[in-house]
Amino acid sequence: MLILGIDPGFAIVGFGVVEAGRNQQRLIRCGTITTQAGIALPARLRQISDDMEQLILQFRPEAMAVEELFFSTNVTTGIGVAQARGVILVAAERNGVPIYEYTPGQIKQAVVGYGKAEKRQVMDMTRRLLRLQSVPRPDDAADAVAVALCHARSFTSRLQNPDDARPGSGRYAVRKR
């Protein structure tokens, strides 16, 4: 299964493409979509949408795993990230890619085995699980790879219901884990 993991943002969107089998995962590619500061938010959102469409068309993922929003102090930034996240979800839906959402705690639990792990622990386990020489860079890309790994480790478990997300099923395809 090819999974596109996404760490949403409007200045920087991290992405990670991971190939997952039942017993192993392999990093295909990771990186970021960046938008220029000072440009109007609608233009930034369009760029994110266009770049997401290109990623989806290039890699043809079988699933998209997206980190749920978590913000506590800067509501203005949170609103921008929420809008960016919306165009990311629309790009997946438009292209028939099933969408799965994970909280930061679920990602930490799946990757490290502890839902309150520190960021450096998640990054180190991501490196180890994928047998990489170093942690993916920049941090946004590493976070997206961890989101993809979370889905890989959840989806390939025996507990996964294959009908949890189906494009075109007539129901909202986003499934929370």
Segment 95-116 shows an average pLDDT of: 96
pTM over 0.75: yes
Domains defined for the chain, CATH in brackets: 2-161+171-176 (3.30.420.10)
pLDDT of residue 157: 61
Q: Which of 7, 51, 101, 143 is catalytic?
A: 7
What is residue 102's predicted lDDT score, i.e. its pLDDT?
A: 96
Q: Is the pLDDT of residue 76 over 90?
A: no
Q: 68: which 2 tokens?
A: 């749920």
Q: Is the pLDDT of residue 105 over 90?
A: yes
Higher-pLDDT residue of 170 and 158 is 158
- Cα 118 from Cα 99, distance rounded (Å): 26
Exactly one of 51, 101, 140, 143 is catalytic; name it: 140
% of the chain residues with pLDDT over 70: 84
pLDDT of residue 170: 32
For 114-148, write each residue's pLDDT tens digit: 999 999 999 999 999 999 999 999 999 999 999 99
Residue-wise pLDDT tens digits, 2-22: 999 999 999 999 999 999 987
Q: Is 163 a catalytic residue?
A: no
Tokens of 73: 């102090």
Query: Which position among 50, 53, 62, 67 bears the catalytic label?
Result: 67
Residue 169 has a pLDDT of 32
pLDDT of residue 177: 45
78 or 152: whose pLDDT is higher? 152
User: pLDDT at residue 66 above 80?
Assistant: yes
Supply the pLDDT for residue 12.
Answer: 97
Q: State the Cα–Cα distance between residues 68 and 86, nearest whole angstrom.
A: 11
67 is catalytic: yes
Q: What Cα–Cα distance (Å) separates residue 173 from each residue in 85, 90, 94, 114, 134?
A: 15, 11, 12, 28, 35
Answer yes or no: 51 catalytic: no
